[in-house]
Amino acid sequence: MTKADKIVEIYKVLYKSYGPQGWWPFLDHEGTNSLKVGNTQGYHILDYSFPRNELEVFEVCLGSILTQNTSFNSVVKSLRNLKNKNALTPEAIHEMDIDELKLCIKPSGYHNQKSRYILEFITFFNALKGEVPSRDRLLEVLGIGEETADSMLLFGYKQLEFKVDAYTRRILLSLGLIDEKAKYDEIKQLMQEALSASITQKDERLIVYQEYHALIVNHAKLFYSKKPYGRNCFLHEMF
């Protein structure tokens, strides 16, 4: 069984175990439906029409910054703080007092850094005028590294960019599919080549990229949060 085959099989097993996850965005920007805010079971499961507009794209990007090295429950608190002030828009945050912004995002940590990152991103976002940013341009923005860029592109802009995070590394390392010093791009290419080969339809592949990452996070929270990583992980029994 090749690495690519294993990567495809892992997805099938995770999906069968946990089901579709339904991630970003989290808040209802149109008032037409009620998203399950803060529900760990998912927010809009099996509805892949999201994000439906620029505001929802913005929320995904904002969440991508806020979730850096931070649990997502904390991020949801910050987003709700902003939403409650009717300030979950680039314009409102831009006009907001910086200390007020810091207070809103305080639950998700690093508020001094992240407030600056957010303001830098808003300037960038406004200049886009609705266009999809290139990955390289995103990486030039202060506070946006590889994972955050891919997070914005995959979940916000529906681009075929696989998001690699610490959990992805741990699982792949534990299963012997990468080595410790594997770089971000190496892991990303491994995942993308495996999935591209087995899923020719782009719309379908996008959904799998999104769900796969979400499934990895869900699975890793259960088996890869405490050392030794991967203890009792049922994926080990597959190969």
Among 62, 79, 153, 217, binds DNA (CB under 7 A): 217
Task: State the minimum distance, in angstroms, from the CB of residue 218 to DNA.
Answer: 8
Closest CA to 161 of 227, 92, 64: 64
Q: Which stretch binds DNA (CB under 7 A): 8-16, 79-87, 139-147, 192-200?
A: 139-147
Kindly write out the interface string for residues 83-102 of this chain, putting x where it contacts DNA by CB under 7 A and - elsewhere: --------------------
Q: Which stretch binds DNA (CB under 7 A): 2-10, 46-54, 90-98, 223-231?
A: 223-231
How is residue 52 written in tokens? 């439906």
Binding flag, residue 80, DNA (CB under 7 A): no
- Chain positions 11 to 40 lying near DNA, rule: CB under 7 A, are 23-24
Task: State the minimum distance, in angstroms, from the CB of residue 2 to DNA.
Answer: 26
Among 104, 151, 175, 194, binds DNA (CB under 7 A): 151
Binding flag, residue 142, DNA (CB under 7 A): yes
Which burial class, exposed, middle or buried, applies to 32 when counting CB atoms under 10 A from its CB (0-12, 13-18, 19+)? exposed
Count of residues near DNA by CB under 7 A: 43
Binding flag, residue 73, DNA (CB under 7 A): yes
Among 22, 25, 90, 107, binds DNA (CB under 7 A): 107
Binding flag, residue 149, DNA (CB under 7 A): yes
Binding flag, residue 147, DNA (CB under 7 A): yes
Among 53, 127, 145, 203, binds DNA (CB under 7 A): 145
Q: 197 or 222, CB closer to DNA?
A: 222
| DSSP states of the chain | --HHHHHHHHHHHHHHHH-----S--S-SSSSS---TT-TT-SSTT-TT-S-SHHHHHHHHHHHHHTTTS-HHHHHHHHHHHHHTT--SHHHHHHS-HHHHHHHHGGGS-HHHHHHHHHHHHHHHHHHTTPPPPHHHHHTSTT--HHHHHHIIIIIS--S-----HHHHHHHHHTTSS-TT--HHHHHHHHHHHHHHH---HHHHHHHHHHHHHHHHHHHHHHSSSSSTTTT-GGGG--
How far is C-alpha 202 from the geometric centre of its chain's CA atoms? Answer: 19
- Chain positions 162 to 201 lying near DNA, rule: CB under 7 A, are 165-167, 181
Residues engaged in binding DNA (CB under 7 A): 23-24, 63-64, 67-74, 77, 106-107, 109-114, 141-149, 151, 155, 165-167, 181, 214, 217, 221, 224-227
